[in-house]
Amino acid sequence: MSPTTPTVPLDQEINPWEAQSARFDFAAQKLNLDEGLWKLLRSPSREIIVHFPVTMDDGRIEMFTGFRVQHNIARGPCKGGIRYAPDVTLDEVRALASWMTWKCAVVNIPFGGAKGGVICDPHKMSKGELERMTRRYTSEIIDFIGPERDVPAPDVNTNDQTMAWIMDTYSMHMRQTVTSVVTGKPLNIGGSRGRVEATGRGVMVVAIESLRYLNIPVEGARVIIQGFGNVGSNAARLMMEAGFKVVGIAEKDGGLYNANGIDIHQLIEYKYRNESILGFRNAEAMPSEELMMSECDLLIPAATENVITSRNAANVKARIIVEGANGPTTAVADEILADKRVFVVPDILSNAGGVTASYFEWVQDRQGYFWKEAIVNEQLESILRDSFEDVVRYSEAHAVNNRIAAYMLAIDRVAFTIKQRGIYA
């Protein structure tokens, strides 16, 4: 059985739920998973759709649609981000919630998966409108979230301020301050040191482990990164400081290339001042699609879903792909990359630094005791190194690629917990 076939129409190929389901089915078959557990784990346990009004700055009442999907709670409370975007769909949120279950299981932290989103264009909304929308959305899903139920976090177009609003709204309803209801908060209200850089740091850690596994020197290894937001910029900076040579940065409005390496500190400062990487003098401009298909040792897609598909996978020249984003590679593209012997580190492992640090924040909030950043980073790196080793060992033992190995490992851990707990009836 193959997770999908090259004849799948593009709209189906890039559907995140279809991609997640295809990979789950293939991994479950390889595990000889019990049919009942297969059915149980294939679908989310709860899907919440809310439609709610928000008063806009000009006095109009605008209706918004929000989602919260909870995939599984066998190993602990649900965990997952909330994104704001005009193209948020239930299928996307459903897939992301499932990926969160597998991600938490791969790094062996006691959470299940969830994800949320609101259909809106946050770039066209004022701060006041965003706050009112966030608070109303929180109130609509408040019966389903909480420190022991479901713990949201930032995602696309949300940040620590968004989490502060959610935490405050929840706390007002509970009549007490509950910092552990969300993670990714500002430091002074229960956030964790090291959380902002955690996903990028995790990408760096598994990139180093990949090079070591393949006996490629870290020093001077050429890296191209697609996306220069939180994940991409922090990964780029940390990797440059670790000895990698970051030769390319691709953004949606264009890319930069310098064979001798880009000074990421300068580029971060330049983007902060100009709100774009375009025009940076110490690198040449290059179309992003062309840049992503250029020669390099590591390609890191760190922005959005479906950037490596059946249409461009054959042109990938990287030796290693480390997925900083969720779902950047389609299932059809996986087959093409496997034929090219590209070493792919899947998203449910390589970008798990964020949820791992979120787990640390949740633990610190519940303890009322906060760790030094060095401890956060040390624990994060230890967990990701161990998880990388678990996945590649699974890959070798079962003769499957890293993605299917990660799925198999995660599914096995969740299924084992369900069997231990039993089915309540």
Residue ranges of the domains in the chain?
45-179, 198-350
Strand 254-257 to 284-286 pairing: antiparallel
Domain 198-350 matching CATH 3.40.50.720: the answer reads yes
Beta bridge mates, 155? none
Q: Cα-atom radius of gyration of the chain, to the nearest Å?
A: 21
* 45-179 CATH: 3.40.50.10860
Catalytic residue among 79, 103, 115, 185: 115
Residue 276 Cα distances to 40, 160, 286, 374, angstroms = 45, 22, 14, 31
SS3 251: strand
pLDDT in 10s for each residue of the chain, 425 residues: 344 444 667 778 889 898 899 999 999 999 999 999 999 999 999 999 999 999 999 999 999 999 999 999 999 999 999 999 999 999 999 999 999 999 999 999 999 999 999 999 999 999 999 999 999 999 999 999 999 999 999 999 999 999 999 999 999 999 999 999 999 999 999 999 999 999 999 999 999 999 999 999 999 999 999 999 999 999 999 999 999 999 999 999 999 999 999 999 999 999 999 999 999 999 999 999 999 999 999 999 999 889 999 999 999 999 999 999 999 999 999 999 999 999 999 999 999 999 999 999 999 999 999 999 999 999 999 999 999 999 999 999 999 999 999 999 999 999 999 999 999 97
Phi/psi of residue 232, each to 5°?
-65, -40
In the residue annotation, 419 being an active-site residue is answered as no
